[in-house]
Amino acid sequence: MANYIELPVYKASYDLLLQIFSLTHNLNREYKYSLGEKLKNEITDLLSNIYRANRTIEKEMYLKTARENLELVRLQIRILKDLKQISNKKHIFINQSIESVSKQLAGWHKSIQK
């Protein structure tokens, strides 16, 4: 079993977390403490689920939950864009990171279902 910190999906998710912390720092006050906190919590939960999936034999539940965490992050990022809290360029950049994590989680999930 690999150390969870060395997993590419963990590294990509952690990088996404750092991007979100940077992004939420500049939000309007109205959104910083509502949507911004939800985003940070959701990504922290994503990292926790990746850790748990790596530590157990029964990975499927944690991987499903991690994928749900990621979809909620995607939704919240879109809301920030629609509220004009982030630029289109930043939205595209973060969505590329989300898509990278999503593909890795899907591949991991598929590999355990065999």
- Taking only the tens place, the pLDDT of each residue in 71-112 is 999 999 999 999 999 999 999 999 999 999 999 999 999 999
- Taking only the tens place, the pLDDT of each residue in 44-60 is 999 999 999 999 999 99
Residue 98 lies inside a defined structural domain of this protein: yes
Residue 78 lies inside a defined structural domain of this protein: yes
Residue 93 contacts residue 110 (beta carbons within 8 Å) = no
7 vs 74, higher pLDDT? 74
The parent domain of residue 92 ranges over: 64-114
Residue 77 lies inside a defined structural domain of this protein: yes
Residue 102 contacts residue 67 (beta carbons within 8 Å) = yes
How many domains does the chain divide into?
1
Alpha-carbon separation of residue 57 from 37, 60, 63 (angstroms): 32, 9, 12
Residue 44 lies inside a defined structural domain of this protein: no
CB atoms within 10 A of CB 73: 26
Residue 106 lies inside a defined structural domain of this protein: yes
**pLDDT at residue 51, rounded to an integer:** 95
Residue 88 lies inside a defined structural domain of this protein: yes
Backbone φ and ψ of 87, nearest 5°: -75, 165
Residue 102 lies inside a defined structural domain of this protein: yes
83: left (phi over 0), alpha (psi -120 to 50) or beta: alpha
Cα 48 from Cα 62, distance rounded (Å)? 9
For the entire predicted model, the pTM comes to 0.92
Residue 48 lies inside a defined structural domain of this protein: no
